[in-house]
Amino acid sequence: MHLLHVAIVLPLMYALFAGLFARWKRTIHTGWFILPLPALLFIYFISILPGVSQAPLFASLHWIPSLNINFDVYADGLALLFSLLITGIGSLVILYSIFYLHTSEKLGHFYTYLLIFMSAMLGIVLSDNLFVLYTFWELTSISSFLLIGFWNHRDKARYGAQKSLLITVAGGLSMLGAFFMLSHVTGTSSIRTLLLQTETILEHPLFPVMLILILFGAFAKSAQFPFHIWLPDAMEAPTPVSAYLHSATMVKAGLYLVARFSMAFTPSDLFFILVTGVGLLTLCWGSYLALKQTDLKAILAYSTISQLGMIMAMLGFGSSTAILGAVFHIFNHATFKGSLFMVAGIIDHETGTRDIRRLRGLLTFMPITATLTLIATFSMAGVPMPILNGFLSKEMFFTAATELAKEGSLQAAVAPYVPIFAVFGSIFTFAYSMFLFFRPFTGSKDEADFPNKPHEAPAGMLISPSILVALVIVIGLFPNLIAGVLLAPATESILGGKAVTDIYFWHGFFNLPFLLSCLVATAGILVYFFRKRLDGMYRILPGKASGNRLFDGLVYSLEAGSSRVNGRIMTGSLTDYFQIILVFFVGVVGYTIVEKMPLDFMSSQLASVEWYEWLILLVIGLSAIVTLFIHHRIALILVIGVTGYGVALLFVMFRAPDLALTQLVIETVTVALFLLCFAHMPRLEKPGKKAPIRKILQIVLSVGVGVIVAVTGISSFRFGDQFEKISAYFLETSYTLGGGKNVVNTILVDMRGLDTMLEIAVLGLAAIGIYVMIKVRDREELK
């Protein structure tokens, strides 16, 4: 057991106490009890950072060794970058939530879910075992589901929670399938060992399947096109949750997965096409849709989608510049997007609305919030100012996009088109960022009609976004502060080799990426000013082709379809069920007979038939057929009696005296019973007309069953007496062992006495059942 194990499990253990804290001191906000834990973990991860960048940490803990599933942890640069984000932003979010959530909320629930989530996230990034990773992966889905539905009295929160769970769990399950294949192909479930077997994986015929399944999991989690639809609906969660889960951590789990496996997968062209293609598409689609939104958090959600797409695209490029850019942007995005969500929460909290159409002129009321928003949005837009970290990573994106041609023949073929997508996405990013700042904060304050009177947020609420925004500027000014210690090890663990990690503070004026940035800024300003003209375009695209419609339609038609199928099959009519059973019996057995069993008749050992035996057979057969057509009660019973006595006569012919006796007695009693019952039952009138199709089905099925039984009986004789019968033993020992000369009776009570005992039990039960049915009901009727 290593300290890393403790670090992963500690929040989970601590979650057990969150509810207790919430009940124990109602006057103190529960968040204060929770806050020290992520802070402590953050300090721990900082302290092991220098050591890990030299030599990664590995520790093993047996869990299910027989299945090769062990709780192995592996901390390298990439894992630590994520761990620091999780614990660092986690601390800030908890601090923020202390001021955001009122003590009247269900705080115990909130912090329990949040701590479970933190544990799960740390588990994902630090696990070295595929299946342990999957376990934590699903734990994030579940805790995220609980957090989105935190205000579960709202319909929209429940809808959003359900949608996100359905999509991310579908992705998670397909990922599990890929993990099974991966561990089968490579013979190990350790991610480190598995990544070294690039050739084995890439040359395996299952590789495309594995890749697609694993990417489905990653794309669903990281809200990539077309699985992005759950993220905007997840905005019903409390804002600290949106800031933490849906901008900084959980949505990056998919990125982590792609980054982690890219060492093995990068040489594959399919990996490049899928990851880059989906990434670029998501970048453009997300930023295009973000401009349309009117809700602050919805804009941020689509913006997150588009930024994640950009990082995904860079991971797909696979060049060392691109990977460095991706890692850098993962860090940067967490800083500015986290602060933006918190700012959106502040605006919501202080004005009572998040609708951007109602917000106007907040600059005078909330100067500090406005400053924070200004820096964060400009950083997100990548405004060409080198004090913003977003600008630096966007430059790296452009650099990587323009240099793509060096990477390989396929990359060279698509290289000319990639910057077009990159620039298109960035123009819209620029436009919505400007919209996000200028619309709520500028303009005349008189127009405003806010639900609450707006004023500056309390200091405590501003601490967390201030720290993040300070990071934006510090990293923007001195990128190499983190480049050496944090980004370099992360890049190296993705690439699996040495990386060049000098981030230039300023590239100079005349290079392609900078010119592209200027182009983006100019075009972005134009789009911002003429955004009203775009309305027509949004009606055409997405128009009716939106993913939400598809998802809702899919869920609806699944439910409607299955209830229709159920309604058709589960009619409630016993006859229908019986017919279904018979159709399968006739179909399956009939097919097997026709297909597998050539009929050959063997008549050498068969007994001959006398004329009186023919007569009995004929009588039984006729009476059986006649029962179908009789509608008179007494006649029906008599015919049934004829059948029964006929069978008894057959038993006499076949030298079975005990059977004949029993059959005679029982037939008599049965007929008596029938007579007794029929006296209380209504007359059997001629039945009404049945639908002809039902009549035909009834005839076909019964004839089918009869033919199958007859054919099975006849064809079973061709096996003859292949094996010696056990009856010889019974005949031999009936007297010597059983002391009886009637062999049938000896078998019944000596050799196979258990059958007889249970048969007596059956009779007894039937008698008790009949007694109860008659007596108990009679008593009820008397009352």
Partner 1 sequence: MEYAVSILAGLLFASGVYLLMEKRLLKVVIGTVLLSHGAHLMILTMGGLKKGAPPLLDDSISQYTDPLPQALILTSIVISFGVTSFLLVLAYRTYKTVKTDQVDQLRGTDDE
- Enumerate residues 728-747 that contact partner 1 by CB under 8 A: 730-731, 734-735, 741-744, 747
Q: Least distance (Å) from partner 1 to the CB of residue 770? A: 5
* End-to-end Cα separation, the chain, in angstroms: 72
Q: Compare residues 540 and 607 and give the one whose CB is closer to partner 1.
A: 607
Kindly state the greatest CA–CA separation across the chain.
117
Q: Tokens in use for 643?
A: 């059948």
CA distance 433 to 377: 5
Interactions with partner 1, residue window 640-699 (CB under 8 A): 640, 643-644, 647, 650-651, 653-659, 662-663, 666, 669-670, 673-674, 677-678, 680-682, 684, 687, 698-699
C-beta separation of 429 from 382 below 8 A: yes
Which one among 13, 550, 569, 774 touches partner 1, defined by CB under 8 A? Answer: 774
Nearest CA-CA partner of 233 in 143, 285, 166: 166
Quote the least distance from Cβ 287 to partner 1, whole Å.
Answer: 58
Tokens of 19: 């509810």
Burial class (CB in 10 A: 0-12, 13-18, 19+), 545: exposed
Q: Which stretch binds partner 1 (CB under 8 A): 69-77, 386-394, 419-427, 770-778?
A: 770-778
Are residues 387 and 477 in contact, defined by beta-carbon separation less than 8 angstroms? yes
The number of residues making up the chain comes to: 783
The residues facing 75 across adjacent strands are 57
Supply 11's token pair: 């929040």
Rule CB under 8 A: is residue 286 a binding residue for partner 1? no
Between residues 48 and 708, which has the closer beta carbon with respect to partner 1? 708
- Indicate which single residue of 208, 416, 460, 769 sits in contact with partner 1 (rule: CB under 8 A): 769
Contact between 116 and 12 (Cβ < 8 Å): yes
Structural contact between residues 244 and 89, judged by C-beta atoms closer than 8 angstroms: yes
Stretch that binds partner 1, among 91-99, 548-556, 557-565, 760-768 (CB under 8 A): 760-768
Rounded Cα–Cα distance for residues 487 and 475 (Å): 12
Residue 27 or 603: which CB sits closer to partner 1?
603
Write down the least CB distance from residue 657 to partner 1, Å.
Answer: 5
Q: Would you say 66 or 736 has its CB closer to partner 1?
A: 736
Nearest approach, Cβ of residue 712 and partner 1 (Å): 8
Give 485 or 582: the residue with its C-beta nearer to partner 1: 582
Binding window for partner 1 (CB under 8 A); candidates: 94-102, 225-233, 382-390, 578-586: 578-586
One residue of 28, 209, 707, 737 binding partner 1 per CB under 8 A: 707
Work out how close the CB of 666 gets to partner 1 at its nearest, in angstroms, rounded to a whole number: 5
CB-nearer residue toward partner 1: 502 or 732: 732
Q: How far is the CB of 735 from partner 1 (least distance, A)?
A: 6
Q: How many residues bind partner 1, per CB under 8 A?
A: 96
Q: Are 338 and 92 in contact (CB under 8 A)?
A: yes
| Look-up of token digits 């097919």 | 591
Q: Which residue in the set 355, 502, 559, 755 belongs to the binding site for partner 1 (CB under 8 A)? A: 755
Which range of residues in 51-59, 190-198, 397-405, 752-760 is near partner 1 by CB under 8 A?
752-760
Q: Which of 67, 702, 737, 775 binds partner 1 (CB under 8 A)?
A: 702
Among 67, 273, 412, 709, binds partner 1 (CB under 8 A): 709
Q: Which is nearer to partner 1, 55 or 574 (CB)?
A: 574
Strand 57-59 vs strand 73-75: parallel, antiparallel, or unpaired? antiparallel
Q: Which residues pair with 58 in a beta bridge?
A: 74
Site for partner 1 in 436-465 (CB under 8 A): none
CB of 781 to partner 1, least distance (A): 9
Of 296, 140, 287, 151, which is closest to residue 228 (Cα–Cα)?
A: 287
Cβ 636 to partner 1 shortest distance, Å: 7
Shortest Å, Cβ 157 to partner 1: 38
CB of 561 to partner 1, least distance (A): 25
Q: DSSP letters of 96-162?
A: HHHHHS-TTS-HHHHHHHHHHHHHHHHHHHHB-BHHHHHHHHHHHHHHHHHHHTSSTTSHHHHHHHH
Closest CB 754 distance from partner 1, rounded Å: 11
Q: Between 545 and 762, whose beta carbon lies closer to partner 1?
A: 762
What span, in angstroms and rounded, lies between the C-alpha atoms of 34 and 40? 11
Residue from 762, 779, 782, 783 touching partner 1 (CB under 8 A): that is 762
**Contacts with partner 1 in 583-642 (CB under 8 A)?**
601, 603, 605-609, 613-614, 617, 620-621, 624-625, 627-628, 633, 636, 640
Say which residue the tokens 């029964």 belong to.
644
710-729: which residues touch partner 1 (CB under 8 A)?
710-711, 713-714, 716-717, 721, 725-727
Burial grade of 90 (CB within 10 A; 0-12, 13-18, 19 or more): buried
C-alpha to C-alpha distance for 67 and 65, rounded to whole angstroms: 5
CB of 100 to partner 1, least distance (A): 52
Residues 6+ apart with CB under 8 A from 150: 106, 109, 110, 113, 157, 237, 238, 241
